[in-house]
Amino acid sequence: MLPEVQTWLRERTTSAADWPVEALAEAKGDTTVSVVLPARDEAGTVGHIVSVIRSELDGLVDEVVVIDSCSTDDTAAVAARAGAAVHAQDAILPHLPPLDGKGEALWKSLAVTSGDIVAFVDADIRGFRSCLVSGLLGPLLTDDRIAYTKGCYDRPLDGVPAGGGRVTELVARPLINLHWPELAGFVQPLAGEYAGRRTALEQVPFLTRYGVEIGLLVDLLDLVGLDGLAQVDLGTREHAPQSVEALGSMSAQIMLAAYSRLRRQGRLGPCHDLSCVLTQFRRDGDGHRAVCSDVSIAERPPMATVREIIASR
């Protein structure tokens, strides 16, 4: 491990228990906080998450916003009843051709939120606890040098306390260790719970789909340096596991995201781009057939460069 990573782990890794809500509310001052939940077909969990944030973090969190990413269930209605401001993803900046996936929802949330600090939380968490938000806010509200915080936790799966996070361990962390070893201290680089200062988040591009998390880590490292990043241990976090086929698509998108950053940094040739088709084979009753799944990702520019946002501010 690089010596600077060891130092960073000592100085920039804390626990959610280190940041009691009452102390954070006092440290908050005039700083405003937005919490964003990107959600697609999460009617079963999104309402509980919104309710917990609004009831337990009142006075700390100023707005809770759900970006409904083309849900086919009543995610939007459930979130609104729980007290969130709900925006349809494709209705935000409608003059832009719509893109798909989580990264698009997160990027567009910057256009409809107002907080000085923006925290992102996945909408499919089971047994949600408010410390998954308040822990992220601690370093940002108490240290002006911190621009971005990332959660880490155990991920239970099928009764195994740390059985989840398969793509993290098999794809993301090896890529990071190989190419950005200064980020190796991040235990959960793909965690969906993270927060940042708007001034930083609006200066970096957002990759779409599942490329967004690794893209943000690499781009924010370039923008603010390792000392501007922090990690908070949030305990445990559980959500519904995905199929192996879905994990394969996710892995491909993360690899594409990493390749795009290596190319931007001059470490890959021009033949590598963001467009790729993953061919997955699965068996049906008559034999084998190839099923081609499009896993290409795209990229949105820094929000600060979007004309309407600049004009409105």
Domain total in the chain: 1
Query: Does 182 reside within a domain?
Result: yes
Range of the domain at 181: 3-240
Domain annotation covers residue 277: no
- Residue 216 has a pLDDT of 98
Domain assignment present for 292: no
Which CATH number fits the domain that encloses residue 91? 3.90.550.10
Residue 62 lies in a domain: yes
Hey, how many other C-beta atoms are within 10 angstroms of the C-beta on 31? 14
Which pLDDT score is estimated for 64?
Answer: 98
- The verdict on residue 297 lying in a domain is no
Q: What percentage of the chain's residues is helix, strand, coil (to nearest 5)?
A: 40, 25, 35
Q: Report pLDDT digits (tens) over 139-171.
A: 999 999 999 999 999 876 666 555 456 788 899
What size, in residues, is the chain? 313
Q: Is residue 262 part of a domain?
A: no
Query: Model confidence over 107-135: pLDDT tens digits?
Result: 999 999 999 999 999 999 999 999 999 99
Q: Distance between CA atoms of 194 and 152, rounded to whole angstroms? A: 9
Asked, for residue 246, whether it belongs to a domain, the answer is: no
Residue 260 falls inside a structural domain: no
Note the pLDDT tens digit of each residue in 222-252: 999 999 999 999 998 876 666 777 888 889 8
In this predicted structure, the answer to whether residue 2 has a pLDDT above a threshold of 90 is no
Is residue 45 within 8 Å of 132, Cβ to Cβ? no
